[in-house]
Each structure stands twice: as C-alpha cells, then as structure tokens.
Amino acid sequence: MKTWTNFLRSALSLGLIASGSLVALAQSATHDHQRCGQQHALEQLYERSPETRASVQAAEQAVQDYVRQNAGNLRVQEDIIYIPVVVHVVWKSAIQNLSDAQIQSQIDVLNEDYAMTNLDRASLRSSFNSIAANTQIQFCLAETDPDGNFTTGIIRKQTGKASFNDTDTAGWDGVKESAYGGSDAWPRSQYLNMWVCNLDPTSGVLGYAYPPGVAGALDGVVMNYRYFGREGVVIPPYNLGRTTTHEVGHWLGLRHIWGDGGCGVDDGISDTPTASGPYFGCPSPTATTCGSLDLWENYMDYTDDRCMVMFTEGQGVAMRNVLNTVRSSIPVSPKCYFNTGVEEPALAVGNGLQLFPNPVTGNVIQLVLEQAAATEGMLQIFDATGRQVWSQVQPAGWQQVSLLLPELPNGFYLLQWSGMNSEITQRFVISK
Ligand SMILES: [Zn+2]
C-alpha cells in the first residue's frame, strides 16, 4: 500500500480529490481515524503467529480451486444464505454498553446493504448500476447458543480494561479472549462473532476483521463502539453502520477495492475497476485513476458512510464462494430460524391463537382460540430445527385448553393448530 502522504501528494497533483474530502484525508494521514485496521492487524498477527500466513493462503487457495471448478458462474443466483451473528459487547464505562436498539440497527444495516435495499443506493452513479448486486446474504442475531439454549445473540461482558490496544500482549485481539479481559468466541463453524469495545482510541481505528483462515478463537469482526450501528452513540461521518458492512466483507474474503496497491495490483474481482488507492470523504463523481472511473461508492473503499452504497456482482459471487467453501458450515447452521421465517408455515389471517405464558417458564401452557374450532384437528409443537416434539388430537368445538408439556430444553418453538380448513401457528420460547 502507498503511504498516506504519497497518496495525498499524487492525488493532489492529479487533482483527483474534491475539496470536501481533503480534511478527511489529511486527518487520516495523521491517523486521527484509521478507516479499517485489517492490514495492520494482519501484520501484527503474522508477527505473533507466523504459521497463520500459510493457513490464510490455504483458505484463499481452497476458494480459488472452487472457482476454477465452477467457472462461468458470474452472477449471484442461489437461495439466500442466513448468517447467525453473536455480538460480544465488552464494556467498561456505561456508554460502551450499547443498547439492544443500537445493536439491532447494525443488523438492519447489514441486511439492507447485503440485499441492496438500502435507500441511499439511489445515489450510485448510473454507469455502475448494472454491476450493483443483491448478494443474497442476510444476517440475524443468533437465536440459540452453542448448547441449544435460547439466546438474544448479545453477550454483555464487563471488563477492567479501559481500551484494547495494539501494544497489549494479544494486541487488539485481546478483546476476543477472557484471559485478556475480552469475551471468548462462539464456534465460528456456526456463528459470525462480532466484538464491540473501546478499540484502541489512540490509533483511531474504526474496526477490523481477518480474512478466512485464521484461528477459530480470533475469527470475526471487531468494532469500536462509536461506529457500530446507525443510532445511539455513533459519531459521524462513520455513523451509518458501513464500517461493519465493510469488515464483514473482509470476513467473507473481500479485499479493499483498490487491492491494497497501485494500479498494477488488483482486488481479484473482475468487475471492480482498478484504483491506485483509497478514497476518503465523498469524492468527485469524475474521480479517475488507472485510466477508468473509480467506484468509490463501494463498501470496500474508505469513503464516508453516507457515500458508500453498494457491492458489485463480482464481490457478491466472491463472498458466496467463501460461504460455499471455507465457511460452508454456516449456511446449514439452523441458528437463524425464527427471525427469517425460513420454512415457517404461513400465519392464518383473522383466526388468532393466543398462548400463555410466553416465555414459558414451567410445564403448563394455556391456549385460547379466537373462534372455536370448526373441526377436529391436531396441535403440534416443533423445535427450532423443525422437528416435531409433541402432538395431541383436539375435538371439534374446542376454544380453550390447558396443556401439560413434556420436558423440553430451553429455546424457540412453534405451536401449530391444524383443523380441516385452518392452520394457525404461534411462536413461543421456553426459558426456565
Ligand atoms: Zn478494510
């Protein structure tokens, strides 16, 4: 990568940067803000653990082999892949202990950005419309923990550490290990781990993520609490959740759009134009390096949150290739069941079913139908994997019933009433 000062000098001499972005660029040159810490974190990790370099290369090779075997697949066409997320909030002062709403707002941003339903997508220059992509990748806060118990997908851990710094023994990665004042990762075969903390405020780094291939305990996204989500205590110009969109792109194998080098270095994605370096702020619509218009609206650039609005088809395919190879256990992990409605029977309209109490804390539940059942039918309970765990035949005319449930582990369940002409489902949680 070019140094910031060299980049600034060459950009200025070419007249490439709109005046509004000069301040942001100058700030970055003095490391007031470090838009993304991936390169720095990787260098530090390779120093602490030299063998990691080979395992990251091996992961890259595995994806490339898959691409060779599936040549010609240039469009995102498959079904939606859902990624369960566990957010570790590692906090010392109360302001760092983010609200549920701020955390959910980040999940919302991810789902919009990866599905291209973000409203600001309309600001993309028209010459790039044809390559903007819905990646068919979606996210949920995890609903069951590694033991199968109900979870909100949010872990709150108080720490004695005022911040996690790269001068610490474990570097920034200390946030990922309880031994260093952090919170231990959940299995990466089933979850995307995200840690939110006071990340090295002196360096001004917004966040970082490793590419596939690092040790499981270190695999995931780390974010400074000031740049996670789009409400609460976020600070502009990085207040719209795009840093996390960018870092998840790294976690799914994407490189920076300029390839972390000059015009001779590519990001490995065929439809992204070559660029000589990153853009900051919100650049000029005619910004050009390497002989073509630069795609600074891309999430893998360094522009302000309000100016990055899209992934390309090539990037979408590349991320899905990672999910089909080195992260292939994620798409079959059933941890996003209820928030997505996957395989969930349609809810009946105008004939409600109420269930008390919910969450269920004992072994007895009460059901009340809005209208008495017209026919005989069956009550069934399914667990989060869709397996039937209980059933009972009910006579015509029933409207209220008290049920004694078998011993069931904590978690999400679906209760279904199926009469001859009606089918009603109701979600509930067992939390004892
Ligand atoms: Zn980055």
User: What DSSP assignment string belongs to 44-70?
Assistant: HHHHH-TTHHHHHHHHHHHHHHHHHHT
| 209 Cα to the center of ligand 1, angstroms | 8
Chain segment 94-117, per-residue pLDDT in tens: 999 999 999 999 999 999 999 999
Which two three-digit tokens encode residue 377? 């039918």
Least Cα distance to 328 among 320, 317, 336, 338 occurs for 320
pTM as predicted = 0.76
Cα Dmax for the chain? 83
Chain segment 134-187, per-residue pLDDT in tens: 999 999 999 888 887 888 999 999 999 999 999 999 999 999 999 999 999 999
- Judge whether 231 counts as a catalytic residue: no
Least Cα distance to 369 among 399, 403, 414 occurs for 399
pLDDT for 157 equals 98
Q: Which of 143, 247, 297, 313 is catalytic?
A: 247
Share of the chain above pLDDT 90, in %: 62
- Phi and psi at 176, nearest 5°, equal -95, 0
| 37 Cα to the center of ligand 1, angstroms | 7
Which two three-digit tokens encode residue 319? 């991320």
Query: Contact at 8 Å (CB) between 262 and 247?
Result: no
Query: Contact at 8 Å (CB) between 415 and 430?
Result: no
Which two three-digit tokens encode residue 164? 């996690």
Q: Is 296 helix (H, G, I), strand (E, B) or coil?
A: coil
| 151 Cα to the center of ligand 1, angstroms | 30
- Give 4-337's CATH code, choosing from 3.10.180.10, 3.40.50.1400, 3.40.390.10, 3.30.2130.10: 3.40.390.10
Share of the chain above pLDDT 70, in %: 87
Chain segment 267-281, per-residue pLDDT in tens: 999 999 999 999 999
Assign 77 a pLDDT band (cuts: 50, 70, 90): low
Q: Under CATH, to which class is 343-430 assigned?
A: mainly beta
| 42 Cα to the center of ligand 1, angstroms | 11
Query: Contact at 8 Å (CB) between 392 and 403?
Result: yes
| 105 Cα to the center of ligand 1, angstroms | 21
Neighbours of 338 (CB within 10 A): 18
In the chain, domain spans: 4-337, 343-430
